[in-house]
């Protein structure tokens, strides 16, 4: 199965337009996935460093590495480890959320449409969703459901999960009486299991020092919380420095790139793009 068959990169044309000319530049692709972004950058002559914690991506990594042995580097880790890279990066691109491949492999436990162990780990390490439910206290579990899934009766559902200790996706699904809460509950547990918001916050903190003059940070978000994290961080970066009560302020360290949403053509070809939102900033010189 080829990359193009199993995954359609979301907002790729918008990302490429925002990046502009990237030949001979160094681009960090923070989530390799099926390699759609990385391949597009490489095809345009960039040098690419890709991160991904998911061991299932390695076959696609090997194919791209064989095609671009001198311009592609893969780091099998969470993208918060960008903080360990050398400075002078020309662009850092985040394609956030869950990938199509993770959802479409039933045994990974991300989807409520197939019965499987309640895993949800993007990597092969750490605690599973079933173990999280078993070990966390009821109040903290309810907070996860509220914060990451906007589940209205979170306390009641958290008590039910603690009492029944679901071990499979169907066991979890059957405990959720309101069908509208099924997808949000699965989403909330997945975000918690993988510390997705913590990863994003740590990675963004490393961006300003890594980027070169004129360097760009592009984020494609799919969830309101991650979009808010990105938006707030970008707002901080584009705010002039100094005391606003003083007449002279230092220029803002970044300026905004125009945001982008999927157009009708992209939505007709890829329904998973419907909640995508691209934001970007450019580092000032």
pLDDT digits (tens, 9 = 90+) for 60-88: 999 999 999 999 999 999 999 999 999 99
pLDDT of residue 119: 97
Task: Report in angstroms the alpha-carbon separations of 70 from 43, 66, 122.
Answer: 13, 9, 28
What's this model's pTM, rounded to 2 decimal places?
0.92
pLDDT of residue 242: 61
Counting as low any pLDDT under 70, the low residues of the chain are 1-7, 242-249
Give 129-165 pLDDT, tens digit per residue.
999 999 999 999 999 999 999 999 999 999 999 999 9
Nearest-angstrom CA–CA distance, 254 and 243: 17
| Domains located in the chain, CATH noted | 3-101+197-283 (3.40.50.150), 124-193 (1.10.150.170)
Query: Quick one: which of 54, 221, 204, 51 has its CA closest to 126?
Result: 54
pLDDT of residue 248: 61
pLDDT of residue 99: 80
Structural contact between residues 223 and 108, judged by C-beta atoms closer than 8 angstroms:
no
Nearest-angstrom CA–CA distance, 12 and 131: 36
pLDDT of residue 243: 61
pLDDT of residue 182: 96
Q: Can you give the C-alpha Rg of the chain in angstroms?
A: 20
Query: Quick one: which of 93, 144, 96 has its CA closest to 122?
Result: 96
**Partner residues linked to 241 by β-bridges:** 250
pLDDT of residue 251: 81
Structural contact between residues 127 and 137, judged by C-beta atoms closer than 8 angstroms:
no
pLDDT of residue 97: 85
Sheet holding 254-260, edge to edge: 72-75, 47-51, 26-29, 89-95, 211-221, 277-283, 254-260
pLDDT of residue 7: 66
pLDDT of residue 4: 39
pLDDT of residue 271: 83
């Amino acid at each position: 199965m080829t990359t193009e068959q199993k995954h359609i990169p979301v907002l790729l044309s918008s990302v490429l337009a925002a990046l502009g000319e990237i030949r001979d530049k160094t681009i960090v692709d923070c989530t390799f996935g099926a390699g759609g972004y990385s391949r597009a950058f490489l095809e345009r002559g960039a040098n690419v460093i890709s991160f991904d914690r998911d061991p299932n991506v390695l076959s696609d990594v090997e194919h791209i590495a064989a095609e671009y042995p001198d311009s592609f580097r893969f780091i099998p880790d969470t993208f918060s480890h960008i903080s360990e890279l050398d400075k002078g990066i020309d662009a850092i691109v985040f394609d956030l959320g869950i990938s199509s491949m993770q959802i479409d492999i039933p045994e990974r436990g991300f989807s409520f449409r197939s019965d499987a162990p309640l895993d949800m780990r993007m990597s092969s390490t750490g605690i599973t969703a079933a173990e999280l439910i078993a070990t966390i206290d009821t109040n903290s579990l309810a907070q996860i459901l509220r914060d990451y899934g906007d589940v209205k009766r979170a306390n009641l559902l958290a008590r039910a999960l603690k009492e029944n200790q679901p071990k499979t996706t169907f066991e979890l699904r059957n405990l959720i009486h309101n069908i509208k809460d099924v997808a949000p509950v699965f989403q909330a547990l997945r975000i918690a299991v993988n510390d997705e918001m913590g990863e994003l916050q740590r990675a963004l903190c490393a961006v300003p020092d890594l980027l070169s003059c004129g360097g760009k940070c592009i984020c494609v978000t799919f969830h309101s919380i991650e979009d808010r994290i990105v938006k707030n961080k970008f707002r901080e970066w584009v705010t002039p420095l100094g005391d606003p009560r003083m007449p002279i302020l230092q220029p803002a360290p970044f300026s905004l790139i125009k945001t982008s949403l999927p157009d009708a053509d992209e939505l007709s070809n890829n329904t998973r793009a419907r909640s995508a939102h691209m934001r970007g900033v450019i580092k000032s010189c």
